[in-house]
Amino acid sequence: MKEINFNKVRVEIDLLGNFISLETMNHRLIASSEWALDSKNDNMYISDFKVVERYRGKGYGSFLARIIFGLARLYKVDTVSLIDGSSLEGFWQRLGFKWDKVRESWVLWI
């Protein structure tokens, strides 16, 4: 089991605005992301995924990503893919994403 390096975090999910954020208990932004479902509802795109600089390297990014994968399962999509994650490949590969030649993007099968 991997250790989690934080004890308390607020998770806010706006299901209408497709926006998710992690905050400290006194409402400081830690990390956020947006998502979109494709027209056939079989893929979820992740976009604008970022962890505020001072909170990086503590596990928040992978924590947020896994909450988004949980949402993807609730939406019953087959895959999650990245719109603008190319510069963060290593991070997404660790979470199981593979390069899809056909779609020309990083994809995770849920």
Ligand X SMILES: CC(C)(COP(=O)(O)OP(=O)(O)OC[C@H]1O[C@@H](n2cnc3c(N)ncnc32)[C@H](O)[C@@H]1OP(=O)(O)O)[C@@H](O)C(=O)NCCC(=O)NCCS
Which residue's CB is nearer to ligand X, number 10 or number 56?
56
Minimal CA–CA distance to 47: which of 106, 110, 109? 106
Question: What letter does residue 4 receive in the DSSP assignment?
Answer: P
Phi, psi of 69 (to 5 degrees): -65, -35
75 binds ligand X (CB under 6 A): no
60 binds ligand X (CB under 6 A): yes
Q: How far is the CB of 101 from ligand X (least distance, A)?
A: 21
Chain residues in the site for ligand X (CB under 6 A): 48-51, 56-62, 84-85, 88, 90-91, 94
